[in-house]
Amino acid sequence: MKIRPSDANLGQVDQWSFIFLVITLVPVAVIPFLGGIDDFFIEITFAILAFQSALLMVFVSGVFGKIYYLFSYFFFSITPWIQFKNSIVFWGFPRVLDNIFFEINLILIILNFLFLFSYLAGIRSRNKTPLTNSIEFLITKHQYKFLVLIVYLSGLIIFSLANFNSENLFFRTGGADRLEVNQITGLLLIPVYFLPFICVAYYLVSTKKTIFKVLILILPMVLVLFPTGLPRNFTALIYLTLLLITFPGLRAGNRLPFFLFIGLIFVFPLLENFRSYDANEYEFLPAYDFFLAPHFDSYQSFAIAYQHKIITFGYQLLGPLLFFIPRVCWESKPTGSGHFVANIFELPFTNISSNIYAEAYINFGLIGCIVFSIALGFFGGKFSYQIASNQESIPKKIVLYGAAAYFIYFLRGDLMSPTAYFLGFVFCVFFIWFFLQLINSPKKI
């Protein structure tokens, strides 16, 4: 498969791209007429940011670029704009001043352009790499038996952690208590939740597979990793990764951003219904109030850090980098940045998101935002090209699909949990690969 630089930079632009663009611009035309606060200068910056995000999401190619601008569209422009008009303040934070809204929007517009330039540079850097023949991966009989064994054993462990109660598998707070474990044990058990899904992923990337063998693997996986019983970021990592593997066409053009666009509007609120087993009312269509809810507190976390000049000169970054050190061994270990900021203002609730630019600012100020944007764009471009070229090794392919699936939650933050979960996922990918190689090396052509 050959990829021309023009293909990698421009992507597929057709009539559906323009239709999708029109759909994304409808809120930009409607929000100014909603009731609430009217401030022309602030709202025009929100409109520019939304238009910039929508335009680049549709016309810039590559999985990571499209996901980044989809995130910017929802979490940096549309929902904060609605929240601004309704004077929404989350968690008891101080009110964000009007001039801060204006300044943050200008900063985000500039950072989005910096991401674009470095993203295209990342794609072009990969275009210089010569492409080789693709790898044909075949799961042998013995390898398949190993995958089945791991799926069922890890599934049994997950079921035991749910206290052998099916309600705990289907609801995030089920009808019975879950098995309690300490922090160190909990950290060590993170990979167990990835094993069933990764075994399924390896079989799905196999060149030859049968529906019957897929079902033997995937049915127990779905039962112990049911979407409504998992945190939404975990659900996205597992099921979106499998979708990207199973349906290669989803990675082409604007299918993925459109799929995620629909997911954020309909699936995201639907999964919220299952956070509590005792919920009496279930909403299957998103209400206007959903966009005023704290799920979209990401913008305010950045604005608050910027407004109050909260900078730690890199100390907060030690948390994600050294996440594997238990707090019992390091009492002063940094908490997540959302938790850190919440403690500064003595808020009663501390499980607060802190997006990638809030993290950058809290660590290194505006210089950190610029560096993070450039680095994020450059490596996003490289990874997008690698996914499009389809030339990477089998385990690296799975890691790349997982990274794409998890990218939106990495951007939302904070960095602590996504880093721990994703590195646990990467460890499991290569752990299973090691044993597949040990059992019977796959054939390469």
Looking at residue 314, the DSSP 8-state letter turns out to be T
- pLDDT grade for 278, boundaries at 50, 70 and 90: low
Q: Please, what is the average pLDDT of the chain?
A: 83
- CB hemisphere CA count around 242 (13 angstroms): 21
Q: Is cis: bond before 414, omega within 30 of 0? A: yes
Of the listed ranges 74-88, 118-132, 264-278, the least confidently predicted one is 264-278
373 phi, psi to nearest 5 deg? -65, -45
User: How many angstroms separate the CA atoms of 149 and 303, rounded?
Assistant: 49
> Distances from the Cα of 323 to the Cαs of 320, 422, 425, in angstroms?
5, 12, 14
pLDDT at 284 (0 to 100): 57
Burial 357-386 (b: 16+ CB within 10 A, else e): bbbbbbbbbeebbbebbbebbbebbbbbbb
- pLDDT grade for 4, boundaries at 50, 70 and 90: very low
pLDDT digits (tens, 9 = 90+) for 393-403: 889 999 999 99
Residue 282 has pLDDT above 60, yes or no: no
Using only C-alpha atoms, what is the Rg of the chain? 22
Residue 49 has pLDDT above 70, yes or no: yes
Domains of the chain by residue range: 5-133, 141-279+376-408
pLDDT digits (tens, 9 = 90+) for 30-45: 998 887 788 889 999 9
pLDDT at 2 (0 to 100): 40
The mean pLDDT of 241-263, rounded to a whole number, is 87
- CB hemisphere CA count around 2 (13 angstroms): 2
- In terms of Cβ atoms closer than 10 Å to its own Cβ (0-12, 13-18, 19+), residue 287 is exposed
Of the listed ranges 133-147, 193-207, 237-251, the least confidently predicted one is 133-147
pLDDT digits (tens, 9 = 90+) for 327-374: 777 878 888 888 888 889 888 888 888 899 999 999 999 999 999 999
Residue 125 has pLDDT above 70, yes or no: yes
Looking at residue 74, the DSSP 8-state letter turns out to be I
> Distances from the Cα of 222 to the Cαs of 215, 216, 270, in angstroms?
10, 11, 18
Residue 102 has pLDDT above 70, yes or no: yes
pLDDT at 186 (0 to 100): 57
Residue 148 has pLDDT above 50, yes or no: yes
- pLDDT grade for 191, boundaries at 50, 70 and 90: confident
Of the listed ranges 56-70, 258-272, 365-379, the least confidently predicted one is 258-272
Six-digit token pair at 291? 């966009």
Of 7 and 188, the one with more pLDDT: 188
Of 270 and 257, the one with more pLDDT: 257
User: How many angstroms separate the CA atoms of 194 and 426, rounded?
Assistant: 9
Residue 172 has pLDDT above 90, yes or no: no
List the one residue out of 313, 302, 260, 322 whose CA is nearest residue 414: 302
- pLDDT grade for 163, boundaries at 50, 70 and 90: confident
- Its pTM stands at 0.88
Burial 166-185 (b: 16+ CB within 10 A, else e): bebbbbbebeeeeeeeeeee
Contacting residues for 108 by C-beta, under 8 A, at least 6 apart: 49, 72, 76, 77, 357
Contact assessment for residue 121 and residue 378, using Cβ atoms and an 8 Å cutoff? yes
List the one residue out of 226, 95, 209 whose CA is nearest residue 158: 226
Percent of the chain predicted with pLDDT > 90: 40
Contacting residues for 281 by C-beta, under 8 A, at least 6 apart: none
Of the listed ranges 103-112, 244-253, 287-296, the least confidently predicted one is 287-296
Of the listed ranges 81-85, 153-157, 162-166, 360-364, the least confidently predicted one is 162-166
> Distances from the Cα of 321 to the Cαs of 2, 14, 161, 417, in angstroms?
37, 42, 28, 11
- CB hemisphere CA count around 63 (13 angstroms): 28
